[in-house]
Amino acid sequence: MATFRLFSVLLLSIASLVLAAPVAVETDYDVIVIGGGPAGLSATSGLSRVQRRTLMLDSGIYRNDPTRHMHDVIGNDGTVPAVFRALARDQISRYNATTTMRNATVTSLESINNGSYYRAADSDGEEYTARRIVLGTGMKDILPITPGVVEGWGKGIYWCPWCDGYEHRGQSFGILGNLSDVMGSVIEVWTLNQDIIAFVNGTNTPEQQAALAAKYPNWEAQLQAYNVTINNETIVSIDRLQDGSTNNDPAQDLEFDLFRVNLTDGSSIERAAFITNFPDDQQSTLPRALNLTMDGTKIKVGTNMKSSDNGIYAIGDANNDGATNVPHAMFSGKRAAVYIHVELGRIDSLAAIGKRGLSARELEEEANQLIGDDLEHLWKRAQESV
């Protein structure tokens, strides 16, 4: 009964929306995908396979570029990220009848006529229009200025145990970042490393202790039980003594990096690898320029990767799906591609039978207000009724 009532309300609003219907606009593309990391490539693949007119624009700054090998991506465990992306591009290029890939930075993105279509301008001075936009623009890591951190990033100094931890299992280990994040790191790496020093770099303060205690009331006893020591000295530098790129045992999947941590009190401590807790942010300025609703530093999306703007989708690291890895980037790109294809298909199917005025976009907005993200269901029923 409740659902029936809901649906009646919807039909009423459809009737009122027909009157204010926008005129259909011919765009250069159906979809512009911004970003050519695993998320953007996956979305582009999904759109290409059904011959959606797709443009992928990529500025070529990939988050995992510094790493030696990509891990925990089944079928590609240990693949060099650039090799992985090149293969994806090569395969997508087969669909060149409808899909174009360009290396350029999108410098501005505009919603025209309140989302009737979108216009993107790039660093080559080109302009393109499309009905839908996919942002696979990624995140950037905000690394501290301490000498050695940027140089060691992805090569013995890393943030993700799944990405790089196994190659450093059993080795002497350091945790970098705020005291409040130490327990979380210990729990993540404990199966890989047991000789752990947390270099908290002067953050062993009452505020940080309180933040840690809020999450782990017995943190001091737990760290003691795990033999984790806390070093509160300010870090002067992290010097590389040995490079795991050349000192390694591929048969055993081991990389032998070695670092010396120099501290302000004049002491130094050697460690083979580090896990970090550093902040990150959107790599692109576009999400904030478009006033997309954010969730912290991430773009807030619904279950179909749709942002707060009806025609703009956000995929991969940039969205707030709670995951930052290549499998998630591929999944979310695929999901957005499928949803956009079906969404545009529905709009066009209505136009084909003369229901041109029935803007599915506005219908969806209406639906959004009524039932949040559970659109699939409602869409199907709305479709059946016309």
Ligand X SMILES: Cc1cc2nc3c(=O)[nH]c(=O)nc-3n(C[C@H](O)[C@H](O)[C@H](O)COP(=O)(O)OP(=O)(O)OC[C@H]3O[C@@H](n4cnc5c(N)ncnc54)[C@H](O)[C@@H]3O)c2cc1C
Binding site for ligand NAG (CB under 6 A): 60, 86, 94, 96, 103, 114-115, 144-147, 149, 176-178, 194-195, 197, 201-202, 204-205, 227, 229, 232, 234-235, 237, 239, 262, 268, 277-279, 290-291, 310, 365
Residue from 212, 325, 334, 362 touching ligand X (CB under 6 A): that is: 325
Residue from 46, 115, 154, 161 touching ligand X (CB under 6 A): that is: 154
Give SS3 for 250. helix
Q: Find which of ligand X, ligand NAG, none residue 279 binds, CB within 5 to 8 Å per kind.
A: ligand NAG
* Distance, CA of 379 to CA of 28 (rounded, Å): 27
Give yes or no for residue 317 binding ligand X (CB under 6 A): yes
Q: How far is the CB of 320 from ligand X (least distance, A)?
A: 13
Residue from 73, 133, 134, 273 touching ligand X (CB under 6 A): that is: 73
Angle subtended by helix axes 326-352 and 38-48, to nearest 10: 30
Q: How far is the CB of 169 from ligand NAG (least distance, A)?
A: 14
Q: Which residues contact 130 (CB under 8 A, 6 or more apart)?
A: 27, 28, 29, 30, 31, 32, 55, 117, 118, 120
**Residues 267 to 286: which contact ligand X by CB under 6 A?**
283-284, 286
Cα–Cα nearest to 134, from 26, 285, 28, 287: 287
Q: Per-residue contact track with ligand X, 74 to 113, x per CB under 6 A? A: -------------------------------xx-------
Contact present, 237 and 151 (Cβ < 8 Å): no
Cα–Cα nearest to 11, from 353, 384, 308: 384
* Distance, CA of 44 to CA of 42 (rounded, Å): 5
**Backbone φ and ψ of 307, nearest 5°:** -85, -170
Judged by CB under 6 A, the stretch of 165-173, 209-217, 265-273, 319-327 that binds ligand X is 319-327
Q: How far is the CB of 251 from ligand NAG (least distance, A)?
A: 26
Name the DSSP letter for residue 295.
E
Q: How far is the CB of 296 from ligand NAG (least distance, A)?
A: 11
What is the β-pairing status of strands 117-122 and 127-135?
antiparallel
Residue from 33, 130, 163, 350 touching ligand X (CB under 6 A): that is: 163
Cα–Cα nearest to 329, from 133, 73, 10: 73
CA dihedral sign of residues 71, 77, 82, 87 = negative
Pick the closer one to ligand X by CB: 33 or 367: 33
Q: Find which of ligand X, ligand NAG, none residue 146 binds, CB within 5 to 8 Å per kind.
A: ligand NAG
* Distance, CA of 118 to CA of 310 (rounded, Å): 11
* Distance, CA of 263 to CA of 271 (rounded, Å): 13
Q: How far is the CB of 284 from ligand X (least distance, A)?
A: 4
Pick the closer one to ligand NAG by CB: 321 or 366: 366
Q: How far is the CB of 115 from ligand NAG (least distance, A)?
A: 6
* Distance, CA of 222 to CA of 225 (rounded, Å): 5
Pick the closer one to ligand X by CB: 279 or 327: 327
Contact present, 154 and 278 (Cβ < 8 Å): no
The residue sitting closest to ligand NAG, measured at its beta carbon, is 144
Q: How far is the CB of 219 from ligand NAG (least distance, A)?
A: 14
User: Where does this chain bind ligand X (CB under 6 A)?
Assistant: 34-40, 57-64, 66-67, 70-73, 105-106, 136-138, 141, 153-154, 158, 160, 163, 283-284, 286, 316-318, 324-327, 329
